[in-house]
Amino acid sequence: MYKIYWTAADGQARSEDYVEMTEALTRANHMRTVGMAYVAMVGENPNQVGKMGVDAVKDGKLPSGEDYTWKMRRS
């Protein structure tokens, strides 16, 4: 789900919901083109569970207790 926020001519905040990203991007771009103020778009990933990324690696362990073994490889 995607949401577009903007400030209308009367100074009030408004929003619209969209399911498809392309639709939301097209609408946000159109709003900016016609001069609407403070246009912003946000998205939510409904399949995400928990925070993005790793909170911390302490003593070589992930928050789950697993070993952190990733190493950058150079060719």
Instruction: Provide mean pLDDT across the span 18-38.
Output: 93
- At 32-67, the pLDDT tens digits run 999 888 999 998 877 776 666 656 788 888 888 889
Considering the entire predicted model, what is its pTM?
A: 0.58
DSSP string, 12-74: -EEEEEESSHHHHHHHHHHHHHTT-EEEEEEE--TT--S-SS-S--BTTB-TTS-B-------
Q: What is the pLDDT of residue 62?
A: 83
Report domain extents, the chain.
2-43
